[in-house]
Amino acid sequence: MITEAVKMEISTYQKIYNIVRKIPAGRVMTYGQIAGIVDRCSARMVGYAMAALKEGTDVPWHRVVNSRGMVSLQEYAGRDLQYELLKTEGVRFSQNGVIDLSVYRWENGDP
C-alpha cells in the first residue's frame, strides 16, 4: 500500500525530473534553483531525486550542479562522468572545477 507521503514524494520527483528535462545542452541549473520552482521541495530533495535515477534515464541529471557552480563535492561513481558530459556540451570549468553560473545557468526552468 502506497502512503500519502510516498505519493507526494513520487509526484515531487516527477516535477523535478520534468524541469531537469527542459535544461538545454550546455546549460545548468542548481539544486536550489530547481527546489525554488517545485512546491514543498528542498535542494536536498532535488539531490535525492537525482540520486534515485536509474542508468539510461532520459533525465539529463548531469546538468544539475550546486550553488557554487560545482558538481557534487561527495565522491561518487558518476562524478567524472558528470564533468565529461558537461564538457562535451561545451560547459567550461575553471582550474578549480567551478562553472561560471553567470554564463551557463539556465533561468527558464519554470514549468
CATH number, domain containing residue 20: 1.10.10.10
pLDDT at position 72 is 79
Whether 110 maps to a domain, the answer reads no
pTM: 0.86
Q: What number is the average pLDDT over the span 79-83?
A: 88
pLDDT at 75 over 90: no
Whether 51 maps to a domain, the answer reads yes
Task: Tell me which of 40 and 100 has the higher pLDDT.
Answer: 100
How many beta carbons lie within 10 A of that of residue 29, not counting itself? 24
Whether 29 maps to a domain, the answer reads yes
Tell me how many domains the chain contains. 1
Share of the chain above pLDDT 70, in %: 84
* Mean pLDDT for all residues in the chain: 88
Whether 53 maps to a domain, the answer reads yes
Whether 111 maps to a domain, the answer reads no
Whether 54 maps to a domain, the answer reads yes
Whether 90 maps to a domain, the answer reads yes
Q: At what angle are helices 4-22 and 43-51 packed, to 10 degrees?
A: 80
